Every structure is written in structure tokens, then in C-alpha cells.
Amino acid sequence: MKGSVTTYAVAAAFVMLWSSGWIAGHIGTGDIGVLTLLAIRYGIVAAVLGVLVIATDRWRAIGLRESVPYLIVGVLSHALYLVFGLSAFAFGASVGLVAFVTALQPMITAGLTAPITHERISLREWSGLALGLAAVLLVISEKMWIGFSPVAVLLPLGSVLALALGTVLHRRIVLTDAAAGRASLPLLQALLLQVLAAFSVLLVAAVISAETWPVLTARSIGVILWLALAVSLLAYGLLTWLLCSKRSS
């Protein structure tokens, strides 16, 4: 009973932290350009993860060929996912709309992953996916009817697709390692590679786009730290704990 209460409490904390990312992102993009905001955020995350990897000795030497899939996952699941999602705010999308559309990700991922993992999706599960998709399409069509910008919807959809592809690729990496009898890369090291790839792409994009360097205020600093430490690190840590506890139960 105590274990169940703890699990529910951790799950609730994860949902609140993860969901707060879009709200904090919306606030942050009011003061800082999307690319600059994300570059600073992932710079902080990369620095913290680097310290953790060294301190815990959770790493092993790998070559470029083995690193590339993790780097691609980082670009898809972190950089493109958030750039598309946060950019939608500039075209009039609300936090609710972005969060609602990005909720499609588990549905799309399930459909894309099934052929790779050979996992069967039941009729009940397909019905749930179809119902969720219909709900999203209903909201989108209503927005379009009142003259809502199509870009404000297409960008969150692009965000969903990027995250779904990144998730499928990561699943493929895990299955490939298992089939080859290879130990998976330590979690912290894998995440560090993803974050470094996202940070590099975001930093280059921010420089090329010539976004004006922001005048950092107490609010913008608070948003950046919340996104980096609470959303990217603490929420991910809670998710990892939940997944590990599920495997051991």
C-alpha cells in the first residue's frame, strides 16, 4: 500500500512538472527568442549531466558510429520537438492547444513502434487512439473555422512527429543492443549525448538566426532554471524512477 501511494505521488509530481514546461516556455518566449532560450536551457542541462556522469562513473567508451543514433534522437526528441512546439506561440497558439495537440505523441508512437517491436495493439487500444485523434481533429477544425492560423496547428503537429520518431529510434536502439547481446549505454551517458546534440544544434541555429541576446531579468532567469532543472532534469529523473519501479514490480 505504501509503495502504491509513493508511486502515485511520484507520478503526480512528474505530470505537474512535465506539464509546466509549456507554461514556462510560453512565459520565457515572451522575453527571449525560442532558439536562444532553448540553447541556454540545454547548455545548463548538459553541464549538470556531464558532472553527474563523471561523479557517478556511469559511462563507457564508444565510437562515433555507436554515438550517432543517440545524437539523432537528441535532435528529434529535444531540439525539434521543443522548437516546433514553442514557435507555435508566436503564431497565436495557446498553451492549451499546444499541450492538447502534443498529447497525440503516445498514439503516433504506438502506431509507429508496433511494426518494429512486433507488439500487437488490441482493438480496444486502437479504439482509444482513434478517439483521441478524433478529439484533436475536432479542436483543430474548430480553430480553423474561426480563422485560426494553420501554422499554429502545423507546428505542434511537427513537434509531435519529431518526438514520436525520436522515441521510435530510441526503442530501435534498445532492441538492436538486446539482439546483439550488447549492454545498453548507461542512462546518464545516453541522455548526455542526446542533450549535447540538441544543445549544439540549438546554439548554431540561434547564432545563424541572429536572435538578439536577451537582457536577463529575474523572471527570465527563473524560467530558464525551472525549465532546465525542474522540467528537463527532475521530471526526467522521476520518469526514470517510475519506469524502473514498474519493471521491478
Residue 47 or residue 4, greater confidence: 47
Query: Between 196 and 12, whose confidence is greater?
Result: 196
pLDDT above 90 for 205: yes
Per-residue pLDDT, 33:
92
Say which residue, 101 or 110, is predicted with more confidence: 101
How much is the pLDDT for 107?
Answer: 65
Mean pLDDT of 177-205: 89
Q: Which amino acid is at 149?
A: S
Question: Would you say residue 87 has pLDDT above 80?
Answer: yes
Closest residue by Cα to residue 103 from 132, 69, 79, 140: 132
What's the average model confidence in pLDDT over 43-64? Answer: 90
CA dist., res. 228 & res. 175, Å (int): 30
Comparing 21 with 201, which gets the higher pLDDT?
201
Using pLDDT thresholds of 50, 70 and 90, give the confidence band for residue 164. Answer: confident
Cell 529575474 belongs to 218
Closest alpha carbon to 77 in 171, 176, 210: 171
| Band (193; pLDDT cuts 50, 70, 90) | very high
Amino acid at 27: I
Confidence of residue 50 (pLDDT cuts 50, 70, 90): very high
pLDDT band at 187 (very low <50, low <70, confident <90, very high): confident
Residue 248 binned pLDDT confidence (cut-offs 50, 70, 90): very low
Task: For residue 58, count CB atoms less than 10 angstroms from its CB and return exposed for 0-12, middle for 13-18, buried for 19 or more.
Answer: middle
Comparing 122 with 144, which gets the higher pLDDT? 122
Q: Please give the grid coordinates belonging to residue 188.
A: 546518464
Domain boundaries, the chain: 2-248
Q: Is a pLDDT exceeding 90 seen at residue 156? A: no
Burial class (CB in 10 A: 0-12, 13-18, 19+), 198: buried
Write down the pLDDT at residue 223.
94
